[in-house]
Structure 1
């Protein structure tokens, strides 16, 4: 393994990190990205194997949804039982921009509060997308019986 500590910075190899965040204004990045993705033919779904790592809320929801869509799903966890995932023991909550009448909620307000809560170190495109779909996430959790 090379030790780069003794090499001048001008002679270091160039490291390019590509975060794969879509181009464009923050409010439109993921909408434009989704609009230009190729779809999977329904007849081909049963030929695709999808591996989901984790059986917490995110992993279990992803595996369940993909299974309902017709994909072959393999779900892996490190616990002795999928019911021992950390989401089961979580004491926290989830926030969403439900936008009830006169409460002042909005996607932008949730976006700003989340970025501020992350000490302005978050990837803004990802946080904005989270704020956009937060309402749907709450509705999906309720539909799946998450307490």
Structure 2
């Protein structure tokens, strides 16, 4: 999908909001005309494929193995944290953002990780 060049630039914390606010919508009757390819059938890929299929899109899911199976996402220990900011907890959106970036060896897309931290609360 081509990004519209009219989307205003700004700090990373506003990138997702600006993109979402300027995104063109797809009418429900046009969704069966759009093919979506999902690569990977782990936790995220399978849930994305299922959700998009329920919305009416044509979804094609591809996986490396012979068939979809238990992914590393499900086998991971600990799971994702949330920035709930309980009393004396010291959590914040920035702290979750920083810990996630650092934990991923600085390979993650910062705008996406910031959005994840933002919606976790």
TM-score of the superposed pair, with normalisation by structure 1: 0.64
Larger radius of gyration: 1
Q: 1:103 to 1:122 in 2, by over 3 A?
A: same
CA RMSD of aligned residues (A): 2.4
How many residues are matched? 114
Report the CA distance between 1:57 and its aligned residue: 0.7
Aligned to 1:32: 18
Give the alignment of 1:126-141 within 5 angstroms: 126-135=112-121
| 1:74-106, Cα deviation, whole Å (9 max, x unpaired) | 111111220243334334522222334553322
TM-score of the superposed pair, with normalisation by structure 2: 0.76
Higher normalized contact order (CA 8 Å, seq sep 6+, divided by chain length): 2
- Find the aligned partners of 1:89 and 1:59 in 2 and give their Cα distance: 15
1:59 aligns with 2:45: yes
Structure 2 residue aligned with 1:45, among 7, 31, 46? 31
Gaps of 5+ in 1: 1-21, 136-147
Give the alignment of 1:61-76 within 5 angstroms: 61-76=47-62
Gaps of 5+ in 2: 1-7
- Runs of 4+ in structure 1 deviating by more than 4 angstroms, as ranges, are 118-123
